[in-house]
Amino acid sequence: MSDVMEADLHPKANEDVLAAIKWAAAEEVPLEVIGHGSKRALGRPTQTAHTLDMSSLTGVTLFEPEELVLSAKAGTPLSEIYELLEKHNQELQFEPVDLGTMLGGAVGFGTLGGLVNTNICGPRRLKYGSVRDHILGITAVSGRGEVFKSGGRVVKNVTGYDLAKGVTGSYGTLTVLTDIIVKILPKAETEQTLSIYGLSDAQATEAMALAMGSSAEISGAAHLPANLANGTAATLLRLEGFAPSVEYRIEALGKLLADFGTHERLDEHTSKAQWWAVRDCLPFAGETSPVWRISCTPSKGYRIVDAIKAAITADAFYDWQGGLIWLQVNEETAYADMVRAVVEANGGGHATLIRADAVTRQSVSVFQPQAPALTALSKRYRENFDPNGVLNPGRMVEF
Partner 1 sequence: MSGLLMPALDQEVMSRRSQIVSALQSIVPGEGVVSDEHEMRVFESDGLTAYKALPFIVVLPETVAQVAEVLKYCSDNGIKVVPRGSGTSLSGGALPLEDAVLLVMSRFSRVLDIDYPNRCAVVQPGVTNLGITHAVAREGFYYAPDPSSQIACSIGGNVAENSGGVHCLKYGLTANNVLGIEMVTIEGEIIRLGGKHLEADGYDLLGVITGSEGLLGVVTEVTVRILQKPETARALLVGFPTSEDGGQCVADIISDGIIPGGMEMMDRPAIHAAEDFVHAGYPLDVEALLIVELDGPEAEVDYLIERVEEIAKKNKSSTLRISNNEDERNNFWAGRKAAFPAVGRISPDYYCMDGTIPRKELPTVLARMRELSDHYNLRVANVFHAGDGNLHPLILYDANVPGELEKTEEFGADILRLCVEVGGVLTGEHGVGVEKRDLMPEMFTEDDLKQQQRVKCAFDPDQLLNPGKVFPQLHRCAELGRMHVHKGNVPFPDLPRF
* Shortest CB 284 distance to partner 1, Å: 20
Q: Does 204 bind partner 1 (CB under 8 A)?
A: no
Nearest-approach distance from CB 362 to partner 1, in angstroms: 19
Residue 259 binding partner 1, by CB under 8 A: no
The answer to whether the CB of 53 falls within 8 A of the CB of 10 is: yes
154 sits near partner 1 (criterion: CB under 8 A)? yes
Give dist(CA 235, CA 197) in Å, integer.
Answer: 6
| Interaction of residue 49 with partner 1, rule CB under 8 A | no
168 binds partner 1 (CB under 8 A): yes
Between residues 105 and 166, which has the closer beta carbon with respect to partner 1?
166
**Closer CB to partner 1, residue 108 or residue 348?**
348
Q: Report if residue 307 touches partner 1, rule: CB under 8 A.
A: no
Q: Is residue 56 close enough to count as binding partner 1 by CB under 8 A?
A: no
Select the span of 52-60, 223-231, 237-245, 258-266 touching partner 1 (CB under 8 A): 237-245
Long-range own/partner contacts, residues 85-89 (CB < 8 A, 24 or more apart): 85/184, 89/186, 89/187
Interface residue with partner 1, options 51, 101, 214, 360 (CB under 8 A): 214
Q: How far is the CB of 388 from partner 1 (least distance, A)?
A: 7
155 lines the binding site for partner 1 (CB under 8 A): yes
> Does 255 engage in binding with partner 1 (CB under 8 A)?
no
Binding-site size, partner 1 (CB under 8 A): 103
Report the site for partner 1 in 274-303 (rule: CB under 8 A). 295-299
What's the closest the beta carbon of residue 318 comes to partner 1, in angstroms? Answer: 12
Among the residue ranges 32-40, 180-188, 259-267, 331-339, the one whose residues contact partner 1 (CB under 8 A) = 180-188
CB of 293 to partner 1, least distance (A): 10
Identify which range of 209-217, 227-235, 273-281, 310-318 contacts partner 1 by CB under 8 A.
209-217
392 to 4, 207, 334, 397: CA distances (angstroms): 18, 43, 24, 10
CA gap 378, 372 in Å, rounded:
10
Tell me: does residue 142 bind partner 1 (CB under 8 A): yes
Q: Does 144 bind partner 1 (CB under 8 A)?
A: yes
Binding of partner 1 at residue 45 (CB under 8 A)? no
Q: Which of residues 79-118 bind partner 1 (CB under 8 A)?
A: 89
Site for partner 1 in 330-389 (CB under 8 A): 347-350, 352, 367-368, 370-371, 373-374, 377-378, 380-385, 387-388
55 to 42, 68, 85, 121, 319: CA distances (angstroms): 18, 25, 20, 22, 32
Interacting span for partner 1 (CB under 8 A) from 193-201, 219-227, 243-251, 273-281: 243-251
Contact status: 40 vs partner 1 (CB under 8 A): no
